[in-house]
Structure 1
Amino acid sequence: MRNFVFLTLLALVGCATTFPQSTLPQNFNDLTSEQLIAELESFLVKIDAEPRGIDESLVAILESFRATLQQGFPTLGIPPLDPLLVPHGQFDIETATADVKGSFDNVTVNGISAYTINKVHMDMLRMKINFDLLFNVIDTLGDRYDVDGVLAVLPIYGTGPFEFTILNMSMIGEVKMGLVNGSVQVLSMPIDINIAAVSSNMMGIMGGGAMGTIVNDMIDDFAPIIFNEIKAPIIDAAVQRIVAFVNARLQGLTFQDLIDIILGIGGGKFLEMYN
């Protein structure tokens, strides 16, 4: 159960922040100045230059980011992230609700870019951005899973292909900024992710049949609970790496520089810093 939710969180909060063996964070950390400039120029030109307010500009950036997720980062050799392809993964989880371990192979996660922007607002006086995103449907398909353990009080086992759908997953957060030695920096970025419901079809669980149907129904009931039990350290680890990456690239920028970039009138100054 936990592995499928784990995969979705992986794609949402930085893809490789969850799986250490992923090459995504290494690719970003190894960015050269030329590569960073190329990526920023490519992204900024996709955003309509029509004059707009700060919140409208943030919405435009998030809307444009859908295409980036779908196309990947070609100059960095990073493939599309929607769909997200995960060749192999392993899991080992022990909580009050479940004690399971196993693996999965050839997994595809669809729908990461199909988010609804419920809210994005920048409070310039307090130097913070609040956001509220909703992912209506995220589909996860896999060629093979292998699981063994206990769900609630029921021993479970199984192997086979699987389908797992996450319904109405919300991501609510805040980016708090401040000045450190004259440069704008992200001071904290609390994020919370909640799942309303799931629908699972783990073919071959408990050998299939009536017992397999019962366990799939149990997974539907318990997956959001298990996610709540495991999400805090996963989100915290992801946020730490994202904040470190962003702050390294914000060095030398003032808060006004950042506002100009968001509004689409100061990107040149940002790019000049890396020449």
Structure 2
Amino acid sequence: MTTKMKILCLVVLLVCALARGANVEYEDLPQVESVENHLEGLQFELNRLSPDHEVTEADKLLISELQTSEGQGRSLVADAIADLIEGFRDVVINGNDDIPPLDPLVIPVIGPFDFQAPATTASVTINDFRKEGLRWYVLDKITFNAIRLSFAAHITIPWITVTGTYDARARLGLITHRAGGGFRVFAHRIEVGLDMRVGTNILGGHLFLRELDIRIDIHDTHIQLHGMTGSSIINAFINNYVQNLTQELIQSEMENVSKMLSEELFDVINEILKDYTINDILG
């Protein structure tokens, strides 16, 4: 038998002997009151020995420094995103290798667009399309959350004007109608809200887009069409009808347009983010 086994057997024999020889009576047990007093004394000693949890001046200074550092970190990221959005203004005006100038945006010819309905066919071509006003966008608000890796922005475009000419031909049964003239669309106060949350992959820490929510709201629009018919009265009637129809359509379809835009830009933004890591945001 090894030395360790001998020691283990000896310990077991001693424990058994003590247990067998012990004769504990109930009255030998401490009373409840004495136990409570004992615990109160023990609690008192523990309280005396516990460290002081009051916030000291050094603690307050450290907390203040941490809060300031965190706030500066959020501010730096928010400022960087704001600079990126503001820097896009130059692309809007002058364009780059991938994007043409967007303000003014000039397209010589758009179309023709063909429409068909029972006993009716129509074709419309737009010429000299010109859009202006995008360059005047204003960044109202931007926030960044470092824990969720999310940011939100709100942008307002005070106005956008679209002008051009059109050439339309329609056939209704045996009746053929041709019209041509100019048009003007004025959109007042376009608000764009953007909420985006990114994540990082495990391997290289590269960013990818988790959530994207774009919301667009147009407060008011005004549409003018000229040359639809030879009668100014009929033209005015058509303009009023188009104005009312377009306003209702915009209000009812903005949610669908916003959802479609979010889905279309999701992959585009992901393609851009793949070249960046978490250090590029927080570093």
TM norm structure 1: 0.61
Greater RCO, CA 8 A, separation 6+: 1
Whether 2:193 is the aligned partner of 1:172: answer yes
Q: 1:125 aligns with which of 147, 152, 177?
A: 147
**Partners of 2:113 and 2:258 in 1: CA distance:** 17
- Based on CA coordinates, which of the two structures has the bigger radius of gyration? 2
SS at match of 1:53: helix
CA contact (8 A) 1:196 1:224 kept: no
Q: Who is 2:138 aligned against?
A: 116
* Partner residue, 1:209: 232
Indicate the SS of the match to 1:113.
helix
User: Post-superposition shift, 1:231?
Assistant: 4.1
Gapped regions of structure 2 (runs ≥ 5)? 1-74, 117-121, 172-176
CA contact (8 A) 2:92 2:102 kept: yes
Shift of 1:134: 1.2
Identical aligned residues as a percent: 17
Give the distance between the partners of 2:170 and 2:218, measured in 1 at CA.
24
Q: What letter matches 1:106 in structure 2?
A: D
Q: Residue 141 of structure 2 aligns to which amino acid in structure 1?
A: K
Which residue of structure 1 lines up, in the alignment, with residue 85 of structure 2?
62
DSSP 3-state at the match of 2:147: coil
Work out which of the residue numbers 173, 180, 184 in structure 2 matches 1:163. 184
- Whether the 8 Å CA contact 1:103–1:147 is kept in 2: the answer is no
- Higher helix residue share: 2
Greater shift in the superposed pair: 176-185 or 223-232: 223-232
**Residues 58-114 of structure 1, C-alpha deviations (whole Å, 9 max, x = no match):** 2222222111110000x44x43111112320455899xxxxx984422211111121
Q: How many residues align?
A: 196
Deviation at 1:233, TM superposition (A): 4.8
Q: Give me the CA root mean square deviation.
A: 3.1
Runs of 4+ in 1 over 6 A off after TM superposition: none
Change (3 A) 1:236 1:103: farther
The aligned runs of 1:186-201 (5 Å cut-off) are 186-201=209-224
* Partner secondary structure for residue 212 of structure 1: helix
Q: What is the TM-score when the length of structure 2 is the normalising length?
A: 0.59
